[in-house]
């Protein structure tokens, strides 16, 4: 019986390693992503070029992703149409793409509540723990941002220009 348990544990470890290390389809070289759609309920980020879906990414969100972000700390991801307004290669989360949240309406809503609206980003895994790779997808762990693996944010970081439209759907 002990051998069966040890074998089962080793099998699970091997399967987990294969899952995490198995290469996924890469974004074609020199691709320019000009439109991003995030489907929060499906945990998907869809990257488009010239109205053609190029790649779909699995993402993690905040601990309470349902609904529109209203203020810093509500653990939600905003919903609506924004743009990519910044690129940070020295982020605390590998790299990140800034999202133009909050807009004027978002700021006004938070102000009515006496709160800071916060901000939002698409980012990789926290620095120094990037080895978790695809396992980051297994649960929602951000403060409301959209998280990818480090390899995936590297792809988007190169392919997305400042000003790219991002539509975040429920």
Delimit the domains of the chain by residue range: 2-169
Q: Which of 64, 68, 128, 145 is catalytic?
A: 145
Judge if pTM exceeds 0.85.
Answer: yes
Q: Which of 68, 94, 123, 128 is catalytic?
A: 123
Superfamily (CATH H level) for 2-169: L,D-transpeptidase catalytic domain-like (2.40.440.10)
Verify whether residue 145 is a known catalytic residue: yes
**23 falls in which pLDDT band (50, 70, 90)?**
confident
Contact 77, 61 (CB under 8 A): yes
**pLDDT above 90 (res 6):** no
In 3D, which of 126, 161, 156 has the Cα closest to residue 141?
126
Verify whether residue 128 is a known catalytic residue: no
pLDDT digits (tens, 9 = 90+) for 108-163: 999 999 999 999 999 999 999 999 999 999 999 999 999 999 999 999 999 999 99
């Amino acid at each position: 019986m002990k051998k069966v348990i040890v074998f089962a544990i080793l099998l699970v470890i091997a399967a987990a390693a294969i899952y995490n290390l198995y290469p996924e389809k890469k974004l074609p070289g020199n691709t320019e992503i000009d439109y991003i759609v995030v489907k929060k309920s499906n945990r998907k980020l869809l990257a488009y070029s010239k109205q053609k879906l190029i790649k779909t990414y699995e993402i993690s969100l905040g601990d309470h992703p349902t609904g529109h972000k209203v203020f810093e700390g509500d653990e939600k991801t905003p919903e609506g149409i924004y743009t990519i307004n910044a690129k940070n290669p020295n982020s605390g989360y590998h790299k990140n793409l800034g999202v133009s949240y909050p807009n004027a309406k978002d700021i006004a809503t938070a102000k009515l509540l006496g709160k800071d609206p916060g901000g939002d980003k698409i980012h990789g895994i926290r620095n120094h723990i990037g080895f978790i790779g695809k396992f980051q997808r297994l649960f929602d762990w951000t403060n409301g941002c959209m998280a990818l693996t480090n390899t995936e944010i590297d792809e988007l970081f190169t392919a997305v220009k400042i000003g790219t439209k991002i539509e975040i759907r429920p």
